[in-house]
């Protein structure tokens, strides 16, 4: 069997996991011959041969002896330049950069097609869960109606600790940072932006639709309060950050928001740094996938899987024709809202379903609610699914 030669960009959390895994497996069909890094003097807690360390990207991209480029750096724009040139130079490419894939998806697929290249990125979405492969192959002949995901391990860890330990948001975030689940600049995670990038990729592979991540309305977990956690417990639910997209009668709706998840639902079993994806398809019905999504090794496992795919001539088929949608349909949902009454009175909603001592439950579109946040207001906003609303209304919890 041919031994493929690879150049690796980035030796950070994921890159180091990939490098160490390949070095430890003498039978792995890919070997890393060159590594490009920003700081070659950086001290690492594992041995790396200095002779394979480079700082110039072209030392890898223009090397005709390398078959594969593995892109695992942080900067999405620099990553795009690397991946685009690698594809044009006839390299196989594996990446885990979800922001780069989301921002440049259409252009990358065009370059891939023009150069008859291979671009794989299983590690970009939900770590160890092979969801892109499943959507591309297993569900290629099915009609997906809804895809929902808990795609950010940082948010899931924070919300899990707030619920289980009674920690305030700030303490849970600090612990996530200490454990390496959250960056010091946690905005992309906790704001919902990271989940939104991943959701836009899932939308392409689920429905064959390109949608810009920035067009997906989102609200993060920064304002989830102790009162909201207590409310969740009172209705036998937990709070999760959920990205959701639905294709119905030619219209696409999508959003990222905290959501109450009932104790009997699959998402309620997703704790700490775990991720999950739920697919509702016409023929396969409801399918649920769960696995570790944060950290070096879960994402590394996805990258290693893609590398083996290349050695077996496996690539994404994109069976569903890609179209572009610039305007998502507005979906009216039920939301739990809490905050200062002066702010609540400014909200744009259709009607009040219920009022408690410290909260309102309203029918509204997330897009309309976000207008008030853009004006500088802060309040807790959590999606309250109809099934939970009906169950608890019948028991008198929501009166």
Contacts of 362 (CB under 8 A, 6+ apart): 334, 335, 337, 347, 349, 350, 351, 352, 353
Contacts of 340 (CB under 8 A, 6+ apart): 379
**344, 335 contact by CB (below 8 A):** no
- Looking only at the bridges linking them, the beta strands covering 274-281 and 323-324 are unpaired
3-state secondary structure of 156: helix
Length of the chain: 399
CA 49, 55, 60, 65 torsion-angle sign: negative
Q: Give the H/E segment covering residue 361.
A: strand 360-365
Place of tokens 């920035």: 214
Any idea what DSSP says for residue 44? -
Spatial distance between the Cα atoms of 125 and 145, rounded to a whole number of angstroms: 19
Q: List, as one string, the DSSP characters of 225-237.
A: -HHHHHHHHHTTE
As given in the structure block, the two tokens for residue 61 are: 């991209």
As given in the structure block, the two tokens for residue 354 are: 């219920």
Any idea what DSSP says for residue 265? S
* Biggest CA-to-CA distance, the chain: 70
User: Which residues are part of the catalytic machinery?
Assistant: 198
**209, 322 contact by CB (below 8 A):** yes
């Amino acid at each position: 069997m041919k031994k493929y030669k690879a150049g690796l960009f980035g030796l950070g959390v994921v890159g180091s996991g990939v490098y160490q895994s390949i070095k430890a497996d003498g039978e792995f069909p890919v070997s890393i011959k060159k590594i490009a890094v920003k700081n070659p003097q950086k001290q690492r807690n594992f041995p790396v041969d200095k002779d394979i360390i480079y700082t110039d990207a072209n030392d890898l991209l223009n090397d005709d002896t390398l078959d594969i480029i593995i892109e695992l750096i942080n900067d999405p724009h620099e990553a795009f330049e690397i991946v685009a040139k690698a594809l044009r130079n006839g390299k196989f490419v594996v990446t885990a950069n979800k922001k780069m894939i989301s921002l440049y998806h259409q252009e990358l697929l065009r370059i891939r097609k023009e150069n008859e290249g291979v671009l794989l990125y299983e590690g970009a979405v939900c770590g160890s869960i092979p969801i892109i492969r499943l959507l591309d192959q297993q569900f290629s002949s099915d009609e997906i109606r809804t895809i929902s995901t808990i795609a950010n391990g940082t948010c899931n860890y924070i919300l899990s600790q707030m619920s289980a330990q009674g920690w305030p948001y700030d303490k849970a975030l600090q612990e996530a940072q200490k454990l390496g689940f959250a960056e010091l600049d946690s905005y992309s995670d906790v704001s919902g932006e990271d989940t939104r990038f991943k959701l836009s990729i899932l939308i392409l592979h689920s429905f064959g639709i390109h949608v810009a991540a920035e067009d997906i309305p989102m609200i993060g977990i920064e304002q989830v309060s102790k009162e909201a956690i207590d409310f969740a417990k009172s209705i036998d639910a937990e709070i999760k950050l959920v990205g959701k997209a639905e294709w119905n009668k030619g219209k696409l709706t999508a959003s990222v928001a905290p959501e109450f998840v009932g104790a009997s639902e699959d998402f309620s079993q997703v704790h700490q740094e775990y991720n999950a994806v739920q697919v509702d398809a016409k023929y396969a019905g409801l399918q649920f996938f769960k696995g570790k999504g944060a950290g070096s090794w879960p994402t590394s496992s996805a990258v290693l899987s893609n590398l083996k795919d290349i050695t077996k001539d496996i690539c994404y088929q994109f069976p569903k024709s890609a179209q572009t949608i610039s305007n998502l349909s507005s979906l009216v949902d039920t939301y739990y809202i809490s905050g200062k009454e002066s702010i609540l009175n400014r909200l744009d909603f259709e009607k009040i379903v219920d009022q408690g001592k410290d909260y309102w439950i309203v029918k509204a579109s997330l897009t309309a609610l976000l207008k008030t946040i853009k004006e500088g207001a802060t309040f807790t906003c959590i999606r309250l699914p109809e099934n939970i609303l009906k169950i608890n209304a019948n028991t008198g919890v929501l009166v």
